Amino acid sequence: MSIRTIAGDCLVRFEGRRERTVRGRVVVLIKPDDTVLVHDVDGYQPAAWLTRPESLSVRRDPLWLLASDGEETLRVEAVGDVVVAEHDATDAGTPVGTCRCGGQLVRSGSDVACLGCAERFGLPDGASVTESACDCGLPQFRVERGERFELCLDYECGSLLEAVEGRFDREWDCPNCGGDLRILRRGGLIAGCEDYPDCETGFAIPDGHVVGSCDCGLPLFERPGGLQCLDAGCSADGTEDTAADTKARTDG
């Protein structure tokens, strides 16, 4: 991915809600999603901009930029000397370790990307990257799905599905038909009845670790916000006793 820049003496016209015409020595940024930002020396806010326009065209000799989105249009015309350039760009994130290629790994949201080779790895919800490394050389991440797991960023070294399946597959009974709950991936991880499609029971596995059983018979998870049954809509009232038992074990 790259960011294009236009720097020099330009006439800028914006038609729409922020209608205006300005001229000056500006820097125009064109981002990979076609967002156009026109910056001058005054403050942090662009002098003009159009976010992710429906259409964008850039012509050289003479330079002319036209971005349109509905009733909004941004035009940039060179009226003096300008310099047009293209710059390699990457995600900017928190440094979390070293890639196998030797490049810096950074975390941005739920992704970890290498600034060197551009390899990218997805992280599950609630995961944190650790300082420990896998045998393959990549950092590991820590995540809780019933218990705590430490896994490599590269799922080829072992996926979260495989780890949770190995620990909890067939561990719990279906509350509707009594069949085994299997660990499956359906978008996220779920505990789904083995008798599907005859029984369509299934529960998303929350982050947190299992601390006991709910009165309904399903496992009870301790999460940052409190205790939760595997069935998020469960109305059983056994959570208070389990919470007290957990505190007693901790205090003891």
pLDDT in tens, 226-243: 999 999 998 765 444 444
Burial profile 183-205: b = 16 or more Cβ within 10 angstroms, e = fewer: bbeeeebbbbbbbeeeeebebeb
Question: Sheet of 181-186: strands edge to edge?
Answer: 181-186, 188-193, 202-204
Nearest to 140 by CA among 148, 149, 150: 150
Give the domain extent around 122: 94-158
**35 near 51, Cβ under 8 Å?**
yes
Residue 77, domain CATH? 2.70.180.20
pLDDT of 171-203, one tens digit each? 999 999 999 999 999 888 999 999 999 999 999
Q: What is the pLDDT of residue 1?
A: 79
Number of domains comprising the chain: 3
Give, rounded to a whole angstrom, the gap between the first and last alpha carbons of the chain: 56
The residue among 158, 181, 202 that closes a domain is: 158
Q: Are residues 42 and 65 in the same domain?
A: yes
Rounded distance between C-alpha atoms, residue 140 and residue 252, angstroms: 32
Q: Average pLDDT, whole number, for the chain?
A: 90
